[in-house]
């Protein structure tokens, strides 16, 4: 599906941005992912133009995300489990996932060469970019493990499988943002590349806004951009 490029987000819009795969290209090592040079300044300028109604919604832990995003922006980590307002610092320690889940997924990752478990507070991400042929086997095993953990679901993504609490959902997070200032009453725009972003795109559409899909794949989005580089050209044009 070829989607048209999105209009520029102007005052009256509430802009929500995914991080990995949207503001920065996906990499095999998540620790190496950073904003491009000048990216922080562009986000701050655009946030000011939008009256502060810009937030980064990420599956990363809020402490990790806050190292990569200017702290004078709204940030939501763990698919919305934790939110920081501009100028606020996250709590020192995250809540932990159930020990039984951590142990089981650690054993699963250790048994597959190239797989790696990344703890993100209550969210656990099993990466298999270095073992792409193992995806189906890992997902089947992870489904069985999570079935025994109350309150947890499996969220597949791009070369990653996440175990997350049922309420860790970017769609729910976007809705909660729209109930608070400075986002209330504005038209939401959700920009993302992965399955976790689709929940928020659907909610943005239902609230009178729209989604922007980065890359290819089935989507709720009305508009599309090919890559993070295109996202930055769009953001820079809007910030001017």
Give me the DSSP letters along 18-29: -SBTTTB---SS
pLDDT band at 163 (very low <50, low <70, confident <90, very high): very high
- Domain of 229 in residue numbering reads as 13-92+168-239
Q: Of 4-8, 32-36, 182-186, 235-239, give the lowest mean pLDDT range.
A: 32-36
Q: What pTM value is reported for the model?
A: 0.88
Residue 123 resides in a domain: yes
- Rounded Cα distance between 213 and 192, Å, is 6
Residues 232 and 178 in one domain: yes
Residue 68 resides in a domain: yes
Domain boundary among 107, 140, 165: 165
Residue 79 resides in a domain: yes
Residue 3 resides in a domain: no
Residues 161 and 187 in one domain: no
Taking the CA atoms of 124, 130, 136 and 137 in sequence, report the sign of the dihedral they define.
negative
Residue 127 resides in a domain: yes
Residues 106 and 137 in one domain: yes
Residues 50 and 61 in one domain: yes
pLDDT at 1: 61
pLDDT at 120: 87
Residues 160 and 218 in one domain: no
Residue position matching structure tokens 């763990």: 78
Domain boundary among 112, 146, 165: 165
Residue 25 resides in a domain: yes
Domain boundary among 120, 141, 165: 165
Residues 178 and 79 in one domain: yes
Total domain count for the chain? 2
Residue 91 · residue 234 · CB < 8 Å: no
What tens digit of pLDDT does each residue of 20-77 get?
A: 999 999 887 778 889 999 999 999 999 999 999 999 999 999 999 999 999 999 999 9
pLDDT at 65: 95
CATH code of the domain in which 141 resides: 3.30.70.1020
Q: Which string of DSSP letters, residue by residue, matches 196-214?
A: HHHHHHHHHHHTT-EEEEE
Instruction: Please choose, from the candidates 118, 227, 217, the residue with its C-alpha nearest in 3D space to the C-alpha of residue 158.
Output: 217
What tens digit of pLDDT does each residue of 196-231 get?
A: 999 999 999 999 999 999 999 899 999 999 999 999
Give yes or no: 64 in active site.
no
CATH code of the domain in which 63 resides: 3.40.50.1000
Residues 34 and 146 in one domain: no
Residues 53 and 151 in one domain: no
Residues 175 and 159 in one domain: no
Residue 23 resides in a domain: yes
Residue 21 resides in a domain: yes
Alpha helices in the chain (DSSP H): 39-49, 62-66, 99-110, 135-146, 170-177, 195-206, 228-239
Catalytic position from the list 18, 20, 61, 194: 18
Residue 44: CB atoms within 10 A of its CB come to 16
Q: Is the pLDDT of residue 12 over 80?
A: yes
Q: Give percent above pLDDT 70 in the chain.
A: 100
Residues 172 and 228 in one domain: yes
In the three-class reduction of DSSP (H, G, I as helix; E, B as strand; rest coil), residue 25 is classed as coil
Mean pLDDT of the chain: 94
Residues 56 and 82 in one domain: yes
pLDDT at 213: 98
Gyration radius from the chain CA atoms: 17
Tokens of 165: 């609490």
């Amino acid at each position: 599906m070829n989607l048209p490029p999105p209009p520029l987000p102007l005052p009256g819009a509430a802009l929500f941005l995914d991080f990995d795969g949207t503001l920065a290209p996906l990499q095999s090592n998540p620790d190496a992912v950073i904003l491009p040079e000048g990216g922080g300044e562009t986000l701050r300028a655009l946030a000011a133009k939008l009256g502060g109604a810009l937030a980064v919604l990420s599956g990363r832990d809020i402490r990790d995300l806050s190292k990569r995003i200017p702290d004078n922006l709204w940030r939501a980590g763990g698919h919305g489990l934790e939110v920081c307002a501009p100028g606020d610092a996250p709590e020192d320690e995250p809540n932990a996932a159930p020990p039984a889940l951590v142990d089981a997924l650690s054993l699963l990752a250790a048994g597959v060469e190239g797989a790696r478990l990344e703890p993100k507070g209550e969210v656990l991400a099993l990466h298999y970019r270095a073992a792409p042929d193992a995806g189906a086997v890992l997902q089947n095993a992870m489904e069985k493990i999570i079935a025994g953990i109350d309150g947890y679901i499996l969220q597949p993504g791009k070369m990653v499988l996440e175990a997350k609490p049922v309420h860790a959902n970017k769609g729910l997070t976007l809705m909660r943002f729209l109930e608070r200032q400075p986002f209330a009453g504005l038209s939401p725009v959700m920009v993302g590349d992965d399955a976790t972003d689709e929940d928020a795109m659907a909610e943005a559409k239902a609230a009178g806004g729209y989604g922007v899909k980065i890359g290819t794949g089935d989507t709720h989005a009305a508009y599309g951009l090919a890559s993070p580089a295109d996202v930055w050209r769009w953001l820079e044009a809007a910030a001017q």
